[in-house]
A and B are shown apart, each in its own frame.
Chain A
């Protein structure tokens, strides 16, 4: 089946630094990728929708200058948390939708998620 890989699985960074999380579709081309954030004991909240070759669409309340999303190829989207603060500590998870015929049925595949801890 389709596989979406996220890297790193967990990362600890110092307050004020930036950290990049990668989301790769391993066996399909993903025209659309989604980034979610999940705080402890909360649900997954959609942060942004990333379309290959165009700017990401951010949800209300998500700072686009703080959470930089790049979807430069059909198999890779990156989320960069800039000037990270402790309140950014969370579980970040991406999902990808295949393009073309494989995208029929609106199937979405999820990565394993990335734990970010800002100290």
Chain B
């Protein structure tokens, strides 16, 4: 059964710092991997989606990498801002049509000004 682990569980950084969030998954047979942002009490905002054939995706100050063989992904946030404070969730889809996303527990990020 696929399991997704995110480290660290929580992270506090001063504004302007670059940071890396880690995600690992036990079954490398994935179709894709997504990073989401969740603000307190809110739904999910999709940040980046990496297909299994891709190595990385970039959007603005965010860069996500995928090493499928080792079961790892990282989300790099450059020049962090207080508005980046949220919980970041990593999720994978199994290599099978119609399957659901399996989520990690998330990393709660706090960026202080």
**Which residues on A are within 8 Å of B, measured CB to CB?**
6, 32, 34, 36, 42-46, 49, 51, 91, 93, 95, 97, 105-108, 110-113, 115
Q: What class of interface size applies to chain B in its complex with A?
A: 20 to 34
* B98 beta carbon closer than 8 Å to chain A: yes
| B21 shortest CB reach to chain A, Å | 14
Among B31, B46, B105, B106, the residue within 8 A (CB) of A106 is: B31
- In the complex the two chains form, is B43's CB within 8 Å of A113's CB? yes
- In the complex the two chains form, is B102's CB within 8 Å of A106's CB? no
**Which residues on B are within 8 Å of A, measured CB to CB?**
31-32, 41-44, 46, 49, 51, 89, 91, 93, 97-98, 100-106
- In whole angstroms, how far apart are the Cα atoms of A44 and B103 in the complex? 6
- Chain A residues in 8 Å Cβ range of B41: 91, 115
- In the complex the two chains form, is B89's CB within 8 Å of A43's CB? yes
Find the B residue at minimum CB distance from A45: B103
Among B43, B91, B106, the residue within 8 A (CB) of A112 is: B43
